[in-house]
Homo-oligomer: A and B are copies of this chain.
């Protein structure tokens, strides 16, 4: 195809570019996703993923982090944020051609979301419920893709620690896996597997009491982020 003139870049700026974010957190052992109630057309009153348009001169990652802060009051650095993929089907937004770059964010249990600067309400919804709702735009698809990405990355990375506080127990970590994958894991094999991967977890030497039972060792995330060999996920088991 023909390249544009140097000063005619705007000739190719037909699309508005937005970011939408799938933010997962764990609340009382259940995986939740942050959803907002839309305050304007289209899809007024419908639930949607938080997001918004990329500002002039703003990078994609910066836009995602800015929106995340506006909706959750999240301090940068506390959450894991990564790009999911771009969604650009021509009909996905009734207003016109809007390209959305979706992000996946994983955060430890957060304070209540602060509603965005406009009138929309933001709240945590159990993922199991959210999957059954009709979300605005193609956000149902984005949510499913984000969930699948999170599930897959738990298999071969230490990403589960992104759901935990700075220090955590092996049980905390296992609770993350069980919530994201949707089925229980054997505590003993899980413990051996995770602590047996060199560099993955750093023992702080301290322990934490959780009500009844033997106190659990407290760990910090180590320098190794890749699980090799990976944890295997029971493909046929997961329930939303």
Contact = CB atoms under 8 A, between A and B. Distances in A.
Interface of A: 1-4, 6, 9-10, 12-18, 39-41, 52-61, 66-67, 70, 83, 85-86, 88-90, 95-99, 101, 116-118, 226, 228-229, 232, 235
A54 B12 contact: yes
A94 to B, nearest CB: 9
> Top 10 nearest A-B pairs by Cβ distance?
A60-B88, A12-B16, A12-B53, A1-B52, A86-B86, A14-B56, A9-B96, A13-B13, A86-B101, A13-B16
Given A13-B15, A53-B12, A90 B3 contact: no
Contacts of A118: 1-3
B17 A15 contact: yes
Contacts of A40: 3
9 contacts: A1-B55, A3-B118, A6-B95, A12-B16, A13-B13, A13-B16, A14-B57, A59-B90, A229-B232
A149 to B, nearest CB: 12
Contacts of A229: 232
A120 to B, nearest CB: 9
Given A3-B52, A17-B88, 15 more contacts: A1-B53, A1-B117, A3-B118, A4-B95, A12-B18, A12-B53, A12-B54, A13-B13, A14-B54, A15-B17, A15-B54, A57-B90, A59-B89, A59-B90, A60-B86
Given A14-B13, A17-B99, A99-B17, A88 B117 contact: no
